[in-house]
Chains A and B, each alone.
Chain A
């Protein structure tokens, strides 16, 4: 069962029908970024000490992009990702999501944004314990107000998408790490969000599971979803067409590797 094309915000222009994602976007009006960070800073205050995790990050991500974020440990990748996922708020700077400043959104609307527009995948899977894979995947649909019957069907479709339909009724602790992460991805895509954010989705996985997960992300991206993922592994990063590097809370480099058509299964060959 195929996942229907992602919902788009009314302001975002959908990619041209049948556009080959390998070639640069055709001429025309510039597309509005899905994500637009402007001089984002984040300062953690721990008693007397202040830690500046982000010191002015500016970044645009266009619809349909597949971006990987790299950087040394402590460079602020997770901090940025949490802000992108509306899980955390910046100390200063502006974050426009689909052109809307998230600071202007109240709790209820932010919950809806997290539910419908963003699918978040955690490094540590974060499945709810003692709750079957399919029930975990159903959860965002329940919060979206989808009825029980349709919810089950869509959850099963999402599990199918990540190749986990046969493990639908297993509890998280009955699944391997790779399977848990696939269940987490299924949960992230269940409400059909246009933006997938993943914080080291393959950090805890072996090479084979990493392949499987990256295959899924590649496929989701080919379906038109915007994907931003954090990774430590250069092999994983090279599978994406754009690599953003952070260092000490600042963007160090932002390079496009456009033109290379990459597929996760190529990874082993490199």
Chain B
């Protein structure tokens, strides 16, 4: 008997019990759809997090000084002076021969102030730094100019501001460039506006005013000759670990201590990315596993239905055997039924899954993965064959007389 014949007989069998067949299909559909959607959600959220981390710049290392973070002065052995990040350190780190993998070093001295423009006020972060900061922090200039080194040496009262500051302090459509605003007690002239940058957390990165660190130390943060952090930019993201160790050994040398005893924290964006990648992968696998369980349940549904079908149609099996159906034909018929159920469920599940992945789910834009579609579909069909085999084989192995006598 041809396989086409088999399919026709099986379809007739399935058609005779439409409701039962469709409920079984539904079980597989939900399983396959859930695998595809949940894996897409997992992939989507993982990609979103990674994009945000990448937005920080994957080639930067943040060196955090301890003093300003309340960790107390570091006292190591012979040295009692608190280790701080100074302008001298910035100069050392920029040495091409000592630190060949470091591209730029931007000191950061920041504080929170109330910015005012006439009656409008807003709380802003003022970052005192150098011209390289904007590039290292993945900011982009939207209008106007960046800070210059002469601004830094001349303690110029200029600021490059973020879009939140602009929208808070200026009416819509007004050109802020050239305006003078107050940052606390400091009056600055806006010379540039930054493009809006995606948020990496709870802080709004666009509520910022960037001014020369010399100006900041004069009026806002107080002259301390030390910085809260340094943003070290490596030449490329692959050099980031080399840049980190160069920075560490230079700073250790400058502070007459060892790298391990250095009281600074190094935040390496590259390692942050790979950590988040692996946690997100775990998350995705977990979601996939939950969905796979529902697929398994769907498979057991197929087996259950096939067992019922076989029991219900035992007499039919007996008749078929009595008129000469070989074991292979009966096996083929019921196996085909199981596979058809799981195929329909699989195809419908893929359609639902792909369609469902186009909607935002709990704030995450799902990202479809071909692998999960192929795997979910393959597993669905395999489940059909696997769970269909036992009932089919049971039917096929019956002696005709036993099947005929079955009540």
Contacts and interface: CB of A to CB of B under 8 A. Distances in A.
B327 interface: yes
Nearest to B315: A126
A180 interface: no
B322 A114 contact: yes
B327 A142 contact: no
A114 B323 contact: yes
Contacts of A108: 326-328
Contacts of A128: 316, 319-320
B322 A126 contact: yes
Contacts of A142: 1, 5
B323 A143 contact: yes
Interface in B273-289: none
A144 interface: yes
Contact of A140 (B316, B324, B401): B324
A177 to B, nearest CB: 17
A187 B323 CA distance: 8
Residue among A111, A127, A140, A145 with the most chain B CB within 10 A?
A: A111
Given A142-B1, A142-B5, A88 B324 contact: no
B325 A143 contact: yes
Contacts, number: 68
Contacts of B320: 128, 139, 143
B298 to A, nearest CB: 27
A48 B13 CA distance: 39
B404 interface: yes
A72 interface: no
A111 B324 contact: yes
A79 to B, nearest CB: 10
B399 interface: yes
Nearest to A117: B324
B7 to A, nearest CB: 13
Interface string B229-273: 000000000000000000000000000000000000000000000
A88 B322 CA distance: 10
A214 B113 CA distance: 110
A157 B212 CA distance: 103
Interface residues of A, number: 29
Given A115-B324, A116-B324, A143 B12 contact: no
A31 interface: no
A71 interface: no
Contacts of A112: 324, 326
B327 A131 contact: no
Contacts of B315: 126
B400 A87 contact: yes
A131 B323 contact: no
Contact of B322 (A85, A107, A116): A85
A179 interface: no
A169 interface: no
Interface string A38-66: 00000000000000000000000000000
B172 interface: no
Nearest to A86: B400
Given A111-B326, A130-B16, A143 B1 contact: yes
A99 to B, nearest CB: 20
Contact of A88 (B316, B328, B401): B401
A139 B401 CA distance: 18
Contacts of B324: 111-116, 140, 143-144, 191
Given A88-B400, A108-B327, 12 more contacts: A87-B401, A107-B326, A111-B324, A114-B322, A115-B325, A116-B324, A126-B318, A127-B319, A139-B320, A143-B324, A144-B324, A191-B324
Interface of B: 1, 5, 12, 16, 315-316, 318-329, 399-401, 404
The 5 closest A-B pairs by CB, nearest first: A115-B324, A111-B326, A88-B401, A140-B323, A114-B324
14 contacts: A88-B401, A107-B326, A108-B326, A108-B327, A111-B324, A111-B325, A122-B404, A126-B318, A129-B316, A130-B12, A143-B320, A143-B323, A144-B324, A187-B323
